[in-house]
């Protein structure tokens, strides 16, 4: 038995010699990782504050209602549960991959009661008798993993696990941004509805004035009907805003995983202003700050592991195994020294005539790697574009707001002037009402600009990765690994 094993072990040098003759197809992939030195927005986009978003960026708005809604959403939204489940699946697959390598040990026991045929292979006294066959055996095996196939498979599983974790962080950041945007939109819809109600009150006063003047022959019917037309338009606008607010509140309730009546007590509160920030330099830091880029990077790392495993499959694979135990056809003799059994062996897998399948598997792995690298490059470009577009939009909105503030101030001065002239008997009441209407219209436009500003602020925060930052050591480029 030992001589037989030795003869088989002598085949190992031959296997190593054959391994030297294995031809792994050349890698013709040309995709390269992005150059983060060029990942930068235009210098003209400057919001005056050089900073990245903080971890709980929503607290900068100083709104306890918003804080509570986002925390509630992060604690109970089903989409995060799905992301967490995917992380668990990836972690379990990593554990399975790790367990498949190295030393494997186990204990096997068995007992069989069997009657041997009197006319079979075994003569009497075995033939025609009952025997109890009892076995206790310990087994151990070891995969040498000479060419790193198993290590590459573990590396691929680590990449998938890290990608799932980054994707879960992306879901958290997207959810927090969605809740904030929905909350701001709802509050601005309510504010615009209140402004429309104020417009209606002034228009009714103007209608009463026109009716009084018409009764004295001092106004035309057209003037009265124009006011009535404006009131009709305002009623239509008020109904639309109410509908939009109702829809937005339901959207916010779903995002926050709230019950049917949880938002009934939500107070109307015009959102405070928070100073927007935009880093002057993005570069490699953008990779650390964007969880979706981290997920894309780790998917590439997983693909590189699969390519390495596919290349290692071209080489011989050697597994060593051994077993020691006891076996007897009588339970009383099981623990005797003569019942011991021993086994030692080696399994050598030589893929000599499997080049077609191996070539195909390697080609698929390399093509998937190149596709993921291309997607990674595209994700980087899209991330820089998102930051630049949101920053430029926010910069433009803030300029519009500054210009609009001047127009509002001019309207306020016009109201004060009209009231002063009316107090001196130099102007009619209608002049004051018309000036008030203009100020309210300016306020309505300002509220729409404020809504756009808040939506863009949150969109920029999301484009910058929210409060996410990858752990140290996880932001290295895959460029060196793909050359």
pLDDT (mean) for 198-214: 85
Report pLDDT for 479.
44
Q: Which residues make Cβ contacts (< 8 Å) with residue 284, sequence separation at least 6?
A: 36, 39, 475, 477
pLDDT band at 17 (very low <50, low <70, confident <90, very high): low
Q: For the segment 348-361, what is each residue's pLDDT rounded down to a tens digit?
A: 676 766 778 888 88
Q: What is the separation of C-alpha 185 from the centre of its chain, rounded to a whole number of angstroms?
A: 23
394 pLDDT above the threshold of 90: yes
Report pLDDT for 483.
44
Report pLDDT for 32.
78
Q: Which of 94-103, 306-315, 395-404 has the lowest mean pLDDT?
A: 94-103
Q: For the segment 275-290, what is each residue's pLDDT rounded down to a tens digit?
A: 999 999 999 999 999 9
Q: Which of 81-90, 271-280, 295-304, 339-348 has the lowest mean pLDDT?
A: 339-348
Q: For the segment 395-435, what is each residue's pLDDT rounded down to a tens digit?
A: 999 999 999 888 888 878 877 777 677 667 665 777 788 88
pLDDT (mean) for 97-121: 79
Q: Give the neighbor-by-neighbor strand order of the sheet with 317-328.
A: 103-115, 130-143, 317-328, 340-349
Report pLDDT for 412.
82
Range picked from 80-89, 117-126, 292-301 for highest mean pLDDT: 292-301
pLDDT (mean) for 145-162: 86
Task: Identify which has the larger pLDDT, 449 or 262.
Answer: 449
pLDDT band at 339 (very low <50, low <70, confident <90, very high): low
Q: Which of 95-99, 269-273, 333-337 has the lowest mean pLDDT?
A: 333-337
Range picked from 141-145, 179-183, 219-223 for highest mean pLDDT: 179-183
Q: What is the CATH number of domain 27-101+145-315+351-482?
A: 1.20.1600.10
128 pLDDT above the threshold of 80: no
Q: Which of 43-47, 219-223, 224-228 has the lowest mean pLDDT?
A: 219-223
Report pLDDT for 72.
93
Domain ranges of the chain: 27-101+145-315+351-482
Three-state helix/strand/coil letters over the chain? CHHHHHHHHCHHHHHHHHHHCCCCCCCCCCCCCCCHHHCCCCCCCCCCCCCCCCCCHHHHHCCHHHHHHHHHHHHHCHHHHHHHHHHHHHHHHHHHHHHCCCEEEEEEEEEEEEECCCCCCCCCCCCCCEEEEEEEEEEEEEECCCCCHHHHHHHHHHHHHHHHHHHHHHHHHHHHHHHHHHHHHHHHHHHHHHHHHHHHHHHHHHHHHHHHHHHCCCCCHHHHHHHHHHHHHHHHHHHHHHHHHHHHHHHHHHHCCCCCCCCCCCCCCCCCCCCCCCCCCCCCHHHHHCHHHHHHHHHHHHHHHHHHHHHHCCCCEEEEEEEEEEEECCHHHCCCHHHEEEEEEEEEECCCCCHHHHHHHHHHHHHHHHHHHHHHHHHHHHHHHHHHHHHHHHHHHHHHHHHHHHHHHHHHHHHHHHHHHHHCCCCCHHHHHHHHHHHHHHHHHHHHHHHHHHHHHHHHHHHCCCCCCCCCCCCCCCHHHHC
pLDDT (mean) for 241-246: 96
233 pLDDT above the threshold of 60: yes
Report pLDDT for 1.
44
pLDDT (mean) for 139-161: 84
Work out the mean pLDDT of the chain and round it to a whole number.
84
Report pLDDT for 76.
80
pLDDT band at 292 (very low <50, low <70, confident <90, very high): very high
């Amino acid at each position: 038995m030992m001589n037989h094993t030795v003869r088989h072990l002598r085949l190992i040098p031959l296997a190593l010699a054959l391994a030297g003759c294995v031809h792994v197809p050349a890698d013709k992939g040309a995709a390269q990782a992005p150059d983060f030195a060029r990942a930068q927005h235009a210098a003209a986009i400057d919001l005056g504050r050089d900073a990245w978003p903080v971890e709980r960026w929503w607290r900068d708005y100083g709104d306890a209602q918003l804080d509570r809604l986002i925390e509630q959403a992060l604690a109970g939204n089903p989409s995060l549960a799905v992301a967490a489940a995917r992380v668990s699946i990836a972690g379990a697959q990593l554990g399975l991959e790790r367990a498949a390598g190295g030393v494997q040990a186990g204990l096997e026991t068995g007992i069989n009661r069997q009657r041997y045929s009197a006319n079979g292979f075994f003569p009497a006294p075995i033939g025609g008798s009952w025997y109890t066959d009892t076995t206790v055996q310990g087994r151990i095996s070891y995969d040498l993993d000479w060419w790193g196939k198993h290590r590459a498979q573990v590396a691929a599983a680590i990449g998938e696990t890290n990608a799932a974790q980054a994707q879960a962080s992306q879901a958290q950041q997207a959810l927090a941004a969605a809740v904030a945007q929905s909350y701001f939109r709802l509050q601005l819809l309510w504010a615009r509805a209140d402004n429309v109600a104020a417009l209606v009150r002034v228009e009714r006063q103007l209608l009463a004035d026109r009716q009084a003047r018409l009764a004295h022959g001092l106004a035309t019917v057209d003037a009265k009907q124009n006011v009535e037309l404006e009131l009709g338009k305002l009623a239509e606008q008020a109904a639309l805003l109410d509908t939009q607010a109702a829809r937005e509140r339901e959207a916010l309730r779903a995002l926050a995983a709230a019950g049917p009546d949880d938002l009934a007590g939500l107070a109307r509160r015009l959102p405070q202003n928070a100073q927007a920030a935009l880093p002057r330099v993005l570069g490699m830091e953008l990779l650390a700050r964007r969880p979706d880029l981290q997920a894309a990077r780790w998917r590439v790392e997983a693909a590189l592991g699969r390519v390495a495993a596919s290349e290692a499959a071209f080489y011989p694979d050697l597994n060593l195994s051994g077993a020691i135990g006891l076996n007897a056809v009588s339970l009383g003799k099981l623990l005797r020294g003569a019942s011991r059994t021993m086994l030692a062996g080696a399994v050598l897998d030589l893929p000599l005539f499997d080049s077609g399948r191996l070539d195909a598997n390697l080609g698929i792995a390399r093509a998937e790697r190149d596709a993921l690298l291309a997607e990674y490059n595209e994700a980087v470009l899209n991330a820089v574009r998102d930051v630049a577009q949101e920053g430029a939009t926010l910069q433009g909105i803030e300029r519009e707001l500054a210009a609009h503030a001047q127009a509002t101030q001019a309207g306020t001065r016009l109201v004060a002037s009209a009231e002063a002239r009316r107090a001196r008997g130099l102007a009619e009441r209608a002049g004051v009402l018309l000036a008030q209407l203009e100020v309210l219209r300016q306020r309505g436009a300002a509220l729409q600009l404020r809504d756009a500003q808040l939506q863009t602020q949150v969109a920029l925060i999301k484009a910058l990765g929210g409060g996410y930052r990858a752990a140290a050591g996880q932001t290295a480029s895959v460029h060196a690994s793909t050359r």
